[in-house]
Amino acid sequence: MELKNSYVHGYDLKENIRLQDQASTLVELLHSDTIYPAGSKILEAGCGVGAQTLTLARNSPEALFTSVDISEHSILTARLNAEAAGITNVRFDQGDIFHLPFEPNSFDHVFVCFVLEHLPLPVEALKILKSHLKIGGSMTVIEGDHGSAYFFPDSESAHKAISCQVELQKRSGGNANIGRELYPLLHEAGFGTIHVSPRLVYVDAGKPELVEGFTKKTFTAMIEGVRELALAAGLTDKNTFDKGIQDLYRTTEPDGVFCYTFFKAVAF
């Protein structure tokens, strides 16, 4: 199964750069508290091009990671990225979450980041991943939530442009507002103890790195990236969409503010 055509963010080079940007500007916020013990075996499901993998592997240099992705192309890129970074504690495999080539109860921990948002059956995926956990193992899930985006100056056009992305992702079977749902999803998948920690990215002119790295290059670039698909699908018209993007960039001016929240859950 290859989701390439329905993966709304696309797999091109620009996207690759965006995901890397995202991981490097948000790395502290999202990953600094994920540290695995020496010798523990971790399954990273849906590693993509390895944007989070390098951070994970560096933060826990004595843990052993198995990172899988459904896209052969992404796995190849991830492997090259890891080699270039001198990472030696990760094994990369092409694999589908719904048909994993591993024994049940074979991992100490599972890590899933920006994956559930693309899956039509997120609870099923969590159940399968859970079956690969050893007793007492933990599951870490990180997802964004586009409904958590708000900004100053506020703009109806900007919200409309964002909703094009949300609608396209929905039509591909995904859910761009899944972050807020981590608690009920993990509960439904059978986890007992669930701790959800929201990570709000707050950006004002006092944080120029986030203005560039998050508001412009991560979030707005992502919304801008669905322009052609949104127009082709008749979700909006050119002027409204372009006004929305312009208004998102407007929030990066000296008096602008941009807020977005990621949700990180750890379940046992």
Binding site for a copy of itself (CB under 8 A): 145, 147-148, 150-152, 154, 177, 180-181, 183-184, 187-188, 194-198, 200, 202, 204-206, 254-257, 259, 261
> DSSP letter string over 106-162?
-EEEEEEES-GGG-S-HHHHHHHHHHTEEEEEEEEEEE--GGG-EEES--HHHHHHH
Work out how close the CB of 148 gets to a copy of itself at its nearest, in angstroms, rounded to a whole number. Answer: 6
Under DSSP, is residue 93 helix (H, G, I), strand (E, B) or coil? Answer: strand
Nearer to a copy of itself, 39 or 206 (CB): 206
Contact 153, 166 (CB under 8 A): no
CA distance 176 to 9: 11
Work out how close the CB of 207 gets to a copy of itself at its nearest, in angstroms, rounded to a whole number. Answer: 9
Work out how close the CB of 152 gets to a copy of itself at its nearest, in angstroms, rounded to a whole number. Answer: 5
Work out how close the CB of 223 gets to a copy of itself at its nearest, in angstroms, rounded to a whole number. Answer: 18
Tokens of 106: 């074979």
Nearer to a copy of itself, 37 or 153 (CB): 153
CA distance 23 to 53: 10
Work out how close the CB of 126 gets to a copy of itself at its nearest, in angstroms, rounded to a whole number. Answer: 14
User: What's the Cα-to-Cα distance from 58 to each of 34, 51, 89, 145, 257, rounded to whole Å?
Assistant: 11, 12, 9, 27, 32
Nearer to a copy of itself, 206 or 234 (CB): 206
Nearer to a copy of itself, 104 or 153 (CB): 153
Nearer to a copy of itself, 175 or 236 (CB): 175
